[in-house]
Amino acid sequence: MLTRQKVVLAVLETAGRPVSAIELVKWLFLLRHETSLRKESAFYDFVPYRFGPFSFALYRELSTLQRDGYVTDEHPQLSLAKASREEARERSSELPKDWTRAIRDVVVRRGSQSQDELLRDIYTRYPWFATKSELVHLKPRETGPSPKTEIAVYTVGYEGKSVDGFFNGLLESRIAAIIDVRANPISRKYGFAKRSMSEIARKLGIGYEHLPELGIASSERADLSDYASYQRLLDRYETEMLPGRREAIDVAVEHLQERPSALLCMEKDVTCCHRGRLAKAVAPKLGRQIVHLS
């Protein structure tokens, strides 16, 4: 069991009562932003969504905890399952003491608030996470129109990021669409395979297009071992592969012209990713600068 899943169990145990999914998510959000857990890179990240801060990874893992018999979902409330309550307590007791104190502090202080009070407070102090909320009556007064992002050749890699952290970064950059240029859009990490990525993007109002013709086949990447080998492959991609893919490049240019969009691949370091070479080929056709998002 992941440590962050143990935190979920500890939160439910500390609450000592059934809690709504909204309460649970917001308490975990506060743990992430206001306690020592903010230093834990493997803890949940959050993204603005229908009722404020939300974590797609958390919801997926809640389903796992329900499947494994730790959590009972009696809609609209969640609680520790009676049959495995003792085991759940043992799991949560494995957490560091400062985490346990932080969990108790957040749950005790916030557990007495009504759901509206909790949300209004979070929306006021973290207005970014309220931007997509459907609960308009709880949102702080608008301060003006959101800044617009200029059309450019944006690129982004998801290596080392959680799915929620990745999408939150796109939203903060006002990216309206993803152009996935992986030849094989698969990933062992939740949220980055084509099906799950496109579905999460849809829910967040971000477009998704897949142009596999602009990727590099897995067989070409089999012998990559160091920086030099990456550069040899990328040189071939730029000089030998891309010239024969003009039609797909033109499609990418069309998408980039429509709205702020990012060429997506996996690697964090753009100098070791074909999206950097692709951006060089696309930029002159679009007549815009290249921007590599972190």
Model confidence over 14-28: pLDDT tens digits? 998 999 999 999 999
3-state secondary structure of 234: helix
**Could you tell me if 182 and 267 lie in one domain?**
yes
Please check whether residues 28 and 127 belong to one and the same domain: yes
**Does 7 map to a domain?**
yes
Of 109, 138, 167, the domain-final residue: 138
Would the pLDDT of 143 be above 60? no
Worst-scoring range by mean pLDDT, 4-18, 34-48, 51-65, 76-90?
A: 76-90
Q: What is the average pLDDT across 37-65?
A: 95
Number of independent structural domains in the chain: 2
Do both 124 and 181 map to the same domain? no
pLDDT at position 84 over 90: no
| Contacts (Cβ under 8 Å, ≥6 apart) of 276 | 155, 234, 270, 292
Mean pLDDT, the chain, integer? 94
Residue 145 lies in a domain: no
Taking the C-alpha atoms of residue 212 and residue 205, their distance in angstroms, rounded to an integer, is: 22
Q: In degrees, to the nearest 5, what angle opens at C-alpha 41 toward C-alphas 40 and 47?
A: 110
Q: Based on the domain organization, do 131 and 191 belong to the same domain?
A: no
Can you give the CATH number for the domain in which 169 is found? Answer: 3.90.190
Domain that holds residue 33: 3-138
Q: Look at residue 37 and tell me if it is in a domain.
A: yes
Residue 209 lies in a domain: yes
Looking at the domain assignment, is residue 276 inside a domain? yes
Instruction: Verify that 200 and 109 share a domain, yes or no.
Output: no
Q: Is residue 217 part of a domain?
A: yes
Confidence class for position 88, pLDDT limits 50, 70, 90 = confident
Indicate whether 20 and 131 sit together in one domain.
Answer: yes
Percent of the chain with pLDDT over 90: 85
Together in a domain, 162 and 284? yes
Task: Read off the tokens for 13.
Answer: 């145990």
Asked whether residue 181 falls in the same domain as residue 229, the answer is yes
Q: Which of 138, 161, 182 is the last residue of a domain?
A: 138
- 173 and 213 in one domain? yes
pLDDT per residue as tens digits for the range 196-250: 999 999 999 999 999 999 999 988 888 888 999 999 999 999 999 999 999 999 9
172 and 127 belong to one structural domain: no
Structural domain ending residue among the three candidates 81, 110, 138: 138
282 belongs to a structural domain: yes
Same domain, 173 and 285: yes
Beta strand 19-20 with 77-80 is: antiparallel
pLDDT for the residue 260: 97
Higher pLDDT, 272 or 82: 272
126 and 177 share one domain: no
DSSP-derived pairing of the beta strands 290-292 and 153-157? parallel
Res. 145 pLDDT band, cuts 50 70 90 = low
Whether residue 178 has pLDDT greater than 90:
yes
Q: Is 271 within a domain? A: yes
- Relative to beta strand 153-157, strand 177-180 is unpaired
User: Taking 60 as the threshold, does the pLDDT of residue 144 lie above it?
Assistant: no
